[in-house]
Amino acid sequence: MTSAESDGPGRVDRLLRYPVKSMLGEELPAVEVTERGLAHDRRVALIDRDTGKVASAKHPRLWSRLLTVTAQADNSAVRMTTSDGKELWSTDPGVDEALSEIVGRPVFLTDAPPHEAALDRADPEDVLRDHTRPPVSARTGRIGGGSPEGTFFDFAPVHVMTTSTLARIAALAPNGSAQAERYRPNIVLRTPLTRGFTENDWIDRTLHLGTGLVLRVIARTPRCAIPTLAHGTVPADTAALRVLAEHNRVTPTESMGPQPCAGVYAQVLRPGRIRLGDPVHWA
């Protein structure tokens, strides 16, 4: 570990939240963070009326259209804006019908996860072989293993990435770019390190952000099909996953086998408000 890394991993560079699960999200200058994550993050989700499963772009063949809609939240409602500029509100009487038309399946919007909530996830290896063509199958799994009950997080309430990891992905990618939006982090840390994938070494460590927020890193983040998909104006690119499969295939936790990973999941030990530019230190 370098002296810079022992002092702290850097400063808060970006803050992002995704009020509707698997839709595009919004950038924030500051945000409150509790044990349930960033305020209004994954506040609601679409549920497939036919299967009862949570709609997730992890199964691109069914749900990639979610990534054409941008969600923004306030204390009263969530606003969803389609690629052609049409606005929907979570409080609209006809919101379920409108969303069903957008995604091409019967869905309803809810802030209450079903009992034993589950979603379908395409296998990353299949995605790299076949991308999003219909033969790509999906496996069903439970959500929220490391999250408070009643939330829609895949695993944990906070997802952290570093600029050094994004820079490393870009250096290894054929097109020389890597957009944080593909990986859907909540907090991007501007790191002084030049070594990529530095988050791999953070498991079980404690981060202090700003003047109050404390996070404990619990797992490396395994990547799915979502980084390869188009995100609004950001085009589809399988290299976003292939680079990780070739250069950072590691174990998310001790109980799991090696997978393409980037970033880390964290739980909230002490709530707090964070802002862009806040310093980040180790406990």
For every residue of the chain, DSSP letters joined together read --HHHHH--EEEEEEEE-SBTTSB-EE-SEEEEETTEETTTT-BEEEETTT-PBP-TTSHHHHGGGGG-EEEE-SS-EEEE-TTS-EEETT-TTHHHHHHHHHTS-EEEESSPPTT-EEEEE-HHHHHHHTTSTT--EEEEES-TTS-TT---SS-SEEEEEHHHHHHHHHHSTTS---HHHH--SEEEE-S---TTGGGG-TT-EEEETTTEEEEEEEEEE--SGGGS-BTTBPP-THHHHHHHHH-EE-SSTTS--EEEEEEEEEEEE-EEEETT-EEEE-
Residue 88, domain CATH: 2.40.33.20
Q: Quote the pLDDT of residue 124.
A: 81
Task: Identify the pLDDT of residue 4.
Answer: 45
pTM (2 decimals)?
Answer: 0.93
Q: Low-confidence residues of the chain, pLDDT below 50? A: 1-4, 132, 134-135
pLDDT score recorded for residue 138: 63
Tell me which residue range forms the domain holding 106: 3-282
pLDDT in tens, 143-198: 766 678 889 999 999 999 999 999 999 999 999 999 999 999 999 999 987 678 99
Give me the number of domains the chain comprises.
1
- The predicted pLDDT at position 142 comes to 73
CB 90 within 8 A of CB 81: no
Count Cβ atoms within 10 A of the Cβ of residue 140 and give its class: 0-12 exposed, 13-18 middle, 19 or more buried: exposed
Note the pLDDT of residue 143. 76
